[in-house]
Amino acid sequence: MKILIPTPLRNFAGGKSEFTTSAATVQAGLEELVAEYPQLKNNLFNAEGKLRSFVNVYVNDDDVRDLSDGLNSKPKEDDEISIIPSIAGGADVTLSNEEIARYSRHLILPEVGMEGQKKLKAAKVLCVGTGGLGAPMAMYLAAAGVGTIGLIDFDVVDESNLQRQIIHSQSTVGMLKVDSAEQMLKGLNKNTNIVKFNTMLTSANALEIFKDFDIIADGTDNFQTRYLVNDACVLSGKPNVYASIFRFEGQASIFGAEAGPCYRCLYPEPPPPGLVPSCAEGGVLGILPGLLGIIQATEVIKLILGIGDPLIGRLLLVDSLGMSFRTLKLRKNPNCPMCGTHEIKQLIDYDQFCGVPKPTEVGPLEVSSHGNVAAAAEFDGIPQVTVEELQARMKKGDVFVLDVREPHEAQIATLGAPLIPVGTLAQRIDEVASHKNEDIFVHCKLGGRSQQAAQILKAAGFQHVYNVQGGIQAWAERIDPTMPKY
């Protein structure tokens, strides 16, 4: 038999609209349903295990209460069991004539209608980040009529954001991103309630921030926050509408839903720091986050309305150069420490988990008797130096500087150092062999790839290798403001 799950209950059933079972009785079928989707249990049965009085069950067109055996009735294989809960009428929300005119194209869709639009107005969605993904996502959610949109971001608008973060503008450069985003969203839909969090999302505040929202949309750009969002969503029982982008490709899914996997099921642990460059280091096609952000907004709206087939248990892969879309199946990992065995019961230190060093103050340049930098802060066995130290050593002329960026990056800005991209360094190690006993300062754009390059040199027997923190971007900010930043 097939059990039809009504729209109001689909959020408790992983977004599914039906459930097939070969149970012998209606009662047994409903018990299988709640075993598969435990969050449904309290919505269907009371503490004594009796069907709640505000829920009716039909076998085809017949109320089960009118059947002689009631819930113990034995349905046929092709029978349909309908769960009919009482509906209050779209939360305690009304639509004004102005809103009816605004959302008219929604209202004439049978799948949305007045009740669906009221659900959108009653919904509360938190956008984690107002950058490339969060910008289009928040704008389309506001335009669609989502009543409350939370924005969490601690950054300020920079010129480099405008290539893809369309919620910000030339006139808001230098403004807090949450303020800039609010300004745009209010201009788009004055009825949208904007809740701002001008703060970094941390293990200390995530659960408190998440508790007032129905759906969390992950627009983050680093692994620490991505795992934090995942874990906080699982612990708080909130769906996590996820997307990520890199260069010309993107991914999207929904994690943390009751029946589906979480992000840790797909990626149990993060890659080593520096292995996967951020968009700031690797670049991104400006239109790509718009595409993925709109996919996220679509999935959020589907969850709110309880329509369609959400990306729960599926990973969407987008290749913008080939303009191809693939969907892969994902399964919940029973051994996942977050959503499977539940070993993780509280939020952890995500910098430590992802192997990211804590911010460290590096003192003024000190040189030992043999010319090496002394007392430099270390990360993963590689001493870290500042651009101020790099400048001092370059003036003295007693250091070899190596640029490990790509050739097209050196065309934008350069320190005049020899260029060997990190991806070819292992094969070209002989080109720097003559500097094996010298101090080698390695730089890239921001410091991630140079850390990786320093590890390669160290493994090849180079003894005095240092990573330049912040890379050429820090040089442009603190040493030479006339140098272009990218």
Q: Which residues are catalytic?
A: 279, 444
Q: What are phi and psi of 460, to 5 degrees?
A: -85, 5
Q: Tell me how far CA of residue 62 lies from CA of 21, 205, 214, in angstroms.
A: 19, 50, 35
Which residue type does 467 have?
N
Q: Which residue type is seen at 105?
A: R
Helical residues (DSSP H) of 194-261, grouped into ranges: 206-210, 223-236
Task: Report DSSP state, residue 15.
Answer: T
Question: Would you give the DSSP letter of residue 45?
Answer: B
Question: What CA–CA distance (Å, rounded) separates 234 from 256?
Answer: 5
Of 113, 126, 293, 146, the closest CA to residue 212 belongs to 126
SS3 323: coil
Task: Quote the CA–CA distance of 466 and 434 in Å, as a whole number.
Answer: 17
CA 333 to chain centroid, in Å, comes to 20
Q: 3-state class of 82 per DSSP?
A: strand
What is the chain's percent helix, strand, coil content, to nearest 5? 35, 20, 45
